[in-house]
Structure 1
Amino acid sequence: MTSVASSSMAADARPPAGYHVLPVSPGQILLPLTVSNKCGQAFRWRGIDVWEPEADGVVVKTEPVVKKEEGDDEEEEKMTKTTTTTMTTRWTKWTEWSVCLSDRVVLLRQDVARQMLYYRTLVPPSTQPSGRTAEEVDAETGVWLRDYLNVDVPLEDLYVEWAAKDAVFARFATRFSGVRMLRQDPWECLCAFICSSNNNIARIGQMVQNLCTHFSEPLLSHTYPRPPPGALASTTTEEEEDEKKGDAGVETGDVVVHYHPFPSPERLAQPDVEETLRRLSFGYRARYIALTAQMLCQAHSSDPGLARAQEEEEEEEEEEEEEKRPKHPSVQAYLASLRTLPYAEARQELLRLPGVGPKVADCILLMSMDQPSSIPVDRHVFQFAERWYGIRTAKGATGHKAYEMIADRFRALWGEYAGWAHSVLFTADLRAFKEYGVVKTEVKEERPQQQQQQLGEAAAIKEETRAETKVEAHVNVNGTATHTVVVQNGRTKRVKKEERTITESFPGDKGGTKRVRRSTTLQVKQGQ
């Protein structure tokens, strides 16, 4: 949040009109590093910059300037002084994050200076819960938000603990403070990370949005106003904002957003889903999502008419084992029950589902199922494990063995909340946050001089490469030339070695062949 006309704000802690307060310091959570869809954790939050007028305008009084001349004193006293009073509006810019739940839209802002989160609830008028006031609905949102943001976990204390035992983590602790793990809805998290298989973060986000827009009806629409005249010019530049936020995917106002909830398991279990997802470029993930929804709904859905879509034949032992599994009233209830299981058991349950391997299972466990020691080992983790920690997999180790070895090493280093610590370094390794929090020194004045110097050096090198260099060739018995490079100005040049025969045969005085050594001149093509 920034102020357009003033860098300081009033001392009071009043939230914006219509918003409620959740006291949370930026060290406990920083929204651009947590809910932004560039972070690879949650994919449905949307960030939009909005401007709102401050409560009080600024009164500006102006008076005309009268030029005095000799003899005008008496006349000036008779003049009626006129003043002009105008009102100028000071605008405050907020980044507003929003997400659509099944029955409401939650709007969220962060005031870093005051260490506050401000939230607001939007509900469609046609579905206003009967018997409940707007205050009660907002209170429910507050309860959900505290649970979703995991605010009871003392993140700042954990940072201190990790930095004390890990010098690598300490290097990034200040710059990437506030990276917090969310407690997401398990069903949504499951589908999102099935989409993550062999995929990048931007495309995962697109797939998750397509699931919402194509398989659930819009809940409501909300309009974000156009920025006021002059506001964009008065605030920081787009480049500065990108550097500050790490290109966190924040849009500018003048946007109408149509909010869709995440589709239910029953909807994604319908026969048309796989074909539709393939048309939307989900690839092989289309079948995984459809089969997972069908499998879970057949086992736990309250809809008795839902047909089982799995076609593979099961062995008799598997059918008996399936009968032993407890039934739950809904897919959501079953997935929520996995939160009560030990890590290994919950992981094994998830690995039964189509499209869920070890990495996808660990993502779901860490981000939705209360398993803070779960470490998803993807290419980013493999990279920083070797680059920053010198962890190299043993020769002949399989992918699974290397995966488990790296995860175990980090769990031993960071402890119970190892998955949270890993996410800080994961974020630091993302290209989107390469410049995040980096303080750049002023070098603008030096750049023209540096560029001129570089151009001059390049021209000099180019000129030198045109110079002729004498190569003394020595002929071996096979007629292959070896050479020593001698450069006129004393600098060593790299000359591509050429195989050539430079002997000539002359009749000798007593017969046979006479070998002659000679010097030749080559053009130098490359400098070093």
Structure 2
Amino acid sequence: MKLRDAPSSCPSLWRCLPCPPAEMRLDLVLSSGQSFRWWESSPGAWTGVLGGRVWTLRQDGDRLWYTVYRQEDEQEEEWDGCPAKAAKLDATETDRILRDYFQLDVELSALYRGWGAADPLFRKVASDFPGVRVLRQDPVECLFSFICTSNNHISRITAMIERLCQAFGRRLCCLDSRPFHAFPSLSALTGADAEARLRALGFGYRAKFVSGSARAIAEGLGTEGLCQLRTAPYAEARRVLCALPGVGAKAEAVPVDTHVWHIARQRYGVALGGKSLTPRAYQEIGDFFRGLWGPRAGWAQAVLFCADLHKGQKSAGSQHQAWES
């Protein structure tokens, strides 16, 4: 049986990590617009691409279960009566990849308590949205994904990233007739026809930003230099990133966009930055939330964003039901 014809699971090849819901809610984290490579392949199970491999994740009680699939060039052999489907990878390494991706070394429940003590509004929202943490994504994938978020919404961004990966990324495997591709390399996005191909894929004005940033990084700091910005001082990292085509002042420890601006004005009653999002407004709003929530202010903001996102989805669903009735 080929991989694409294989059943959806092979339980003996699943592994797990300790992960209580207070420390992470998989469904909230993977649907909150941080990454656009995951889809709910069955109720409670999420399949996506991470580290050049295809994974399925499932949370059950205090455990995070996962399996990793073989790439197509590894499909020749089968073992234990299970179709050539799950990769024989080092368990220590796969555990490390997941722990790093979800930043499981950060004690989230303690952060929630601190944010709640400082902010009554956060405390009210947090009780319904526990376990929202920030992903530690590959810098190249994260950068180009968020260039695509300009004037966009999650479902459309997800579709754009899928087209980008299919057109420029290496094919990894096929599950239930669905192909999965790696995120494109910088070299794949720097070709002379990259911008035209991206426009044909529906990227519009973002096509110029994606191809332009790919060339700027390839000719400048490179992939390694981009990764090193993780440990650079905030001001330096911001300066370098904002010099790239399509990257603006939204690149902050608290990502200030019109959504966060409205939260600051409407929910916190702060009149910062005047009536529009000027560079001064970006700085002032970011400073306000960093002063309120502390060093991991971006994590606290992710909780409020997730709450607003789900509130909006629920409202849209109610409107849709009313329309149908």
TM-score (norm 1): 0.53
Alignment of 1:155 onto 2:122: no
Alignment of 1:116 onto 2:111: no
Change (3 A) 1:99 1:434: closer
SS in 2 for 1:430: helix
* Cα-Cα RMSD: 2.1
Aligned to 2:295: 416
Alignment of 1:34 onto 2:29: yes
- Decide which of 11, 14, 23 is 1:19's aligned counterpart: 14
Change (3 A) 1:424 1:102: closer
Task: Give the deviation of 1:299 after TM superposition.
Answer: 2.7
Task: Give the deviation of 1:184 after TM superposition.
Answer: 0.1
The 5-angstrom pairing of residues 100-111 of structure 1 reads 100-101=49-50, 103-111=52-60
Is the CA contact (8 Å cut-off) linking 1:384 and 1:429 kept in structure 2? no
Is the CA contact (8 Å cut-off) linking 1:98 and 1:106 kept in structure 2? yes
- Decide which of 178, 198, 202 is 1:281's aligned counterpart: 202
Aligned partners of 2:158 and 2:91: how far apart in 1?
A: 28
Is the CA contact (8 Å cut-off) linking 1:121 and 1:138 kept in structure 2? no
Q: Which amino acid counterpart does residue 225 of structure 2 have in structure 1?
A: Y
Is the CA contact (8 Å cut-off) linking 1:380 and 1:429 kept in structure 2? no
Aligned partners of 2:101 and 2:49: how far apart in 1?
A: 13
TM-score (norm 2): 0.85
Q: Unaligned regions of 5+ residues in structure 1, if any?
A: 1-14, 50-93, 224-255, 301-330, 363-373, 437-528
Larger Rg: 1
- Decide which of 39, 57, 76 is 1:46's aligned counterpart: 39
SS in 2 for 1:26: coil
Task: Give the deviation of 1:431 after TM superposition.
Answer: 5.2
Is the CA contact (8 Å cut-off) linking 1:24 and 1:115 kept in structure 2? yes
SS in 2 for 1:175: coil
- Decide which of 184, 188, 192 is 1:271's aligned counterpart: 192
Change (3 A) 1:195 1:394: closer
Change (3 A) 1:395 1:44: closer
- Decide which of 197, 215, 219 is 2:168's aligned counterpart: 215
Q: Which amino acid counterpart does residue 279 of structure 1 have in structure 2?
A: A
Aligned partners of 1:266 and 1:405: how far apart in 2?
A: 38
Aligned to 1:174: 127
Task: Give the deviation of 1:395 after TM superposition.
Answer: 4.7
The 5-angstrom pairing of residues 309-348 of structure 1 reads 331-348=222-239
User: For each residue in 1:333-353, what CA deviation from the matched residue of structure 2 results, as whole angstroms up to 9, or x when unmatched?
Assistant: 111111121111111111111
Q: Which amino acid counterpart does residue 108 of structure 1 have in structure 2?
A: L
Change (3 A) 1:220 1:402: same
Q: Which moved more, 1:18-27 or 1:331-340?
A: 331-340
SS in 2 for 1:22: strand
Task: Give the deviation of 1:103 after TM superposition.
Answer: 3.9
User: For each residue in 1:389-434, what CA deviation from the matched residue of structure 2 results, as whole angstroms up to 9, or x when unmatched?
Assistant: 1011365776111221111111111101111001111111125655
User: For each residue in 1:278-320, what CA deviation from the matched residue of structure 2 results, as whole angstroms up to 9, or x when unmatched?
Assistant: 11221111011111111211235xxxxxxxxxxxxxxxxxxxx
Change (3 A) 1:166 1:265: same
- Decide which of 225, 240, 265 is 1:349's aligned counterpart: 240
The 5-angstrom pairing of residues 76-475 of structure 1 reads 94-101=43-50, 103-111=52-60, 114-124=61-71, 126-127=73-74, 136-223=89-176, 256-299=177-220, 331-359=222-250, 361-362=251-252, 374-393=253-272, 395=274, 399-430=278-309, 435=314
Aligned partners of 2:200 and 2:267: how far apart in 1?
A: 41
SS in 1 for 2:13: coil
Change (3 A) 1:135 1:431: closer
User: For each residue in 1:189-214, what CA deviation from the matched residue of structure 2 results, as whole angstroms up to 9, or x when unmatched?
Assistant: 01011111122222211111111011
Aligned partners of 2:52 and 2:36: how far apart in 1?
A: 19
Aligned partners of 1:46 and 1:398: how far apart in 2?
A: 33
Q: Which moved more, 1:22-31 or 1:117-126?
A: 117-126
User: For each residue in 1:16-58, what CA deviation from the matched residue of structure 2 results, as whole angstroms up to 9, or x when unmatched?
Assistant: 432101000111111111012xx11110111111xxxxxxxxx
Aligned to 1:12: none
Change (3 A) 1:396 1:171: closer
SS in 2 for 1:28: coil
Identity %: 43
SS in 2 for 1:219: strand
Q: Which amino acid counterpart does residue 187 of structure 1 have in structure 2?
A: V
SS in 2 for 1:117: strand
Task: Give the deviation of 1:126 after TM superposition.
Answer: 2.1
Q: Which amino acid counterpart does residue 21 of structure 1 have in structure 2?
A: C
Q: Unaligned regions of 5+ residues in structure 2, if any?
A: 1-9, 76-85, 316-325
Aligned residues: 296
Is the CA contact (8 Å cut-off) linking 1:24 and 1:117 kept in structure 2? yes
Higher relative contact order (CA 8 A, sep 6+): 2
User: For each residue in 1:426-472, what CA deviation from the matched residue of structure 2 results, as whole angstroms up to 9, or x when unmatched?
Assistant: 11112565549xxxxxxxxxxxxxxxxxxxxxxxxxxxxxxxxxxxx
Aligned partners of 1:395 and 1:220: how far apart in 2?
A: 51
Change (3 A) 1:396 1:41: closer
**Greater percentage in strand:** 1
Change (3 A) 1:382 1:154: same
